[in-house]
Amino acid sequence: MTELKNDRYLRALAKQPVDRTPIWMMRQAGRYLPEYRKVRQQAGDFMSLCRNAELACEVTLQPLRRFPLDAAILFSDILTIPDAMGLELYFEAGEGPKFGKPVRSLAEIEKLAVPDMEQSLGYVMDAVRTIRRELNGEVPLIGFSGSPWTLATYMVEGGSTKNFSKVKKLAFSEPQAMALLLDKLADSVIDYLNAQIAAGAQAVMIFDTWGGVLSPRDYQQLSLAPMQKIVNGLTRHADGRKVPVTLFTKNGGQWLEAMAATGADALGVDWTTNLADARARVGGQVALQGNMDPSILYASPQRIEEEVATILASYGQGSGHVFNLGHGIHPEVDPEHAGAFIDAVQRLSPAYHR
C-alpha cells in the first residue's frame, strides 16, 4: 500500500471528514499552460504526446507544480478505446478529433473487438505507472474513460457533431446495432479502467459528455444502462484502499437520482444544476463534484472568489464535496486566474468543515 501524504480527495469522495474542500480541475493539464504547449510541440502531435509515458507524466505533473491541487488526473484522451479498435483516430487543427474509419452499420460493429489493454493500450498503463512513481504519494491519481454513449457518438459521427444525426439514426433505426456497440464499449471500458487501477490509478471517473443530448427514456437505455454495467464490473478495492468511481453526465442534472442509484461513489455536476438542490436530492447517497462555470475564470480574481463563496455556501457544511469546474478549463484562461480560483477554495472552504 502506498502511503498518501494528501488523501483529502479520497476522503471527500467517501464523505469522510476533511479539513477543507479538496479541489482539482477537469483538463487541469492542458493548453492554458504555456509549459504544456511547449511539451505538446516537442511531442509533434497530440496522440504522440499521449503515447509517450514520460511526456504524458510530465504534463500530468505540470499543474501540480504550479498549484496546490488535491489530485492528479491521467493525461490521455477519451477516444483511446475507439482508436485501439482500429477506427484510426486523428486530430485536425481547429476541428477536434476525427476517425478515418467510422462505424455506421451492424456489419461494421460486429467486426469490432474489445482491445487487449496491455497490448493496444499499454501506453496508457505505462503512463499510469510512470505518474504513480513520480507522484511518490503526494496526491492520488485519477484514471478515466469516456462513457459508452459518448464514445459511440464520436465513432458513428466520425468526429465532433452538433446535431448527433448519424448516431441517433443508428440508435433509432437499428437498435440492435446500437445495443451491440454500447455493449462492446461497456466491456472495453470495464477492462480499460480495471487495467488503469491495476497499474496504479487510485480513483476513476467516467465522462459522459453527450448523455445530456438524449431524452429521459433514451438516456436511461443508451447512456445510464451501459454505465451501470461498468460500475458493476469495476475493481473497487486496490492497494489497500477503496477505489471510488465518479460518474459525470454533462447537462445531466435531471437524472441525478438515477445516476446515484448505480452504486457510484460520486457524481459530477455541471453549472446548470444548483449544488444545494443536488445535495438535497442525492447527497445522502453520493459525494458531489463541481460545479463552477469554467467561463468564470475569464473574470477578475474578485469575481472568481465571489463565485467560489457562492458555491461553497450552496453545498453547505460538511464533507462530500470536491470542488471543480462544471466542465474542462478553457484553453484561453490566464493561469493566474486558475491560481486565484484554487486559492479562494483553499482559503474559504475550511469554515465549512468545522
Active-site residue list: 27, 31, 40, 77, 154
Q: What is the rounded distance in angstroms from the CA atom of residue 185 to the CA atom of residue 173?
A: 20
**Quick one: cell of 262?**
448505480
Amino acid letter for position 5? K
Q: State yes or no: 298 annotated in a binding site.
A: no
CA atoms 111, 177, 90, 187: torsion sign: negative
CA atoms 35, 41, 46, 50: torsion sign: negative
Q: State yes or no: 31 annotated in a binding site.
A: yes
Q: State yes or no: 77 annotated in a binding site.
A: yes
CA dihedral 203, 209, 215, 216 (to 10 degrees): 20
DSSP assignments along 287-325, one per residue: EEEEEE-GGGGGS-HHHHHHHHHHHHHHH-SSS-EEEEE
Q: State yes or no: 30 annotated in a binding site.
A: yes
Contact 266, 203 (CB under 8 A): no
CA atoms 91, 92, 98, 100: torsion sign: negative
Contact 98, 58 (CB under 8 A): no
Q: State yes or no: 217 annotated in a binding site.
A: no
Q: State yes or no: 315 annotated in a binding site.
A: no
Q: What is the rounded distance in angstroms from the CA atom of residue 76 to the CA atom of residue 51?
A: 8
Q: State yes or no: 28 annotated in a binding site.
A: yes
Annotated binding-site members: 27-31, 77, 154, 209, 327
**Which residues fall in the annotated binding site for substrate?**
27-31, 77, 154, 209, 327
